[in-house]
Amino acid sequence: MVKRSSGFPLAALSLGILLVGCGSGGSSAKKASLNKATAQKFSVATIRVMRAALAMTGLARRVSRAHSGPARLPLILAAVLRTRDTPTTGLDDDTGLYYSLAVQPDDSGQQLLFTDASRTKPAGSFTWTAPQWNGGKIGDYPALFHIAFQITAGDFKGDHGTIDFNASDATGGNGTLHVVLTTGQGEHSTSDFVVRNGTVSSGKDKITLTDGTSCNETDTADSTGLLIFNIIFDDGSNETIDMGADGSGTETLTGPDGTQDASGTYDSAGTDTLTFPDGTTNTVNVDTSTDDTTPPDETKKVRTRSSRYR
């Protein structure tokens, strides 16, 4: 999935290709196009899970914003190593929440999250146990960091899970990631990424949507400046998503019969606008939506919420 070397910093994922097979356990006997509700459900959920996994690891593509500090993994590693000038407070670019950072004598620690700059309104945390250094010697690599996270406020409210980062060196920009994520809307994903020079070079993921639909995903990176997600559903449907350097992109969903059932654009704030073959459109913020399936001809547009990224 995620699908975050092209020279982007760790907080801005490098370009990749995502191959996903999704389905609820079998192919239809007769190929057919998708209805609007199903098309919208698939499109919104896949983008949401992708964005959440990148944000939790600190690999989200936010290069259109002024970054307030280092990405999550380099920040944690710098704090553990007691690197000079490591910021202990700031704004976490990927969640849009303020943080304070504390490290214990055994190198375990927490990045506490808040909704306000004065850090009085809690919004979750990233908590790591004492790192497992190579040979038990502090500062020797590879070193394994186990991080548990829970977001209780903001656009990723309800997201929780774990990150296992096997750091290859002191930069925090090289190694492997194993991410287990449950979104606030109930999707579940397990991802494995290879990070090189601060970017994701490859990955594999398993996703389960709220209705039981499961997805298998393969990520590879190119150097064209664009992330491309090719999503293949077991019923023969195919979705293609691309992501630019600012985290925005386009999507196209094709049904089992080969017809285009939806296309659209989404911005770096997560606002996804889908257009259906009959010309109707629907707009959903994938991070905050609680309704992924209401088609536009049955109700008014789903209201979106203003975003921190605008």
Residue type, 243: M
The bridge status of strand 16-23 relative to strand 227-233 is: parallel
CA separation for the pair 172, 166 (Å, rounded): 9
Residue 123, token pair as written in the block:
């919004």
DSSP 41: H
> What CA–CA distance (Å, rounded) separates 175 from 193?
9
239: closest CA among 212, 213, 211?
A: 213
Longest dimension (CA), the chain: 63
**How many Cα atoms occupy the beta-carbon half-sphere of 133 within 13 Å?**
14
Res 178: pLDDT: 97
pTM here is: 0.81
Extract the tokens encoding 286.
């994938």
pLDDT of residue 226: 74
The per-residue pLDDT for 22 is: 55
Angle at 1 between CA 15 and CA 57, to 5 degrees: 85
303 exposure class (CB count in 10 Å sphere: 0-12, 13-18, 19+) = exposed
Calculate ∠ Cα 6-250-150, nearest 5°. 70
Tokens of 130: 């004492």
Q: How many Å apart are CA 127 and CA 230, to the nearest integer? A: 33
**What is the mean pLDDT, run by run of 10 residues, along the chain of 310 residues?**
41 40 49 81 89 86 50 92 90 92 95 97 98 94 97 96 96 94 95 84 85 82 74 82 80 90 92 93 86 54 36
Partners of 253 in the beta sheet?
239, 262
Domain range list for the chain? 16-285
In the prediction, which pLDDT does 31 show?
62
Distances (CA, A) of 220 to 4, 93, 229, 253: 10, 24, 9, 21
How confident is the model over 22-67, as pLDDT tens digits?
Answer: 555 444 445 667 888 888 988 899 899 988 998 899 877 544 344 4
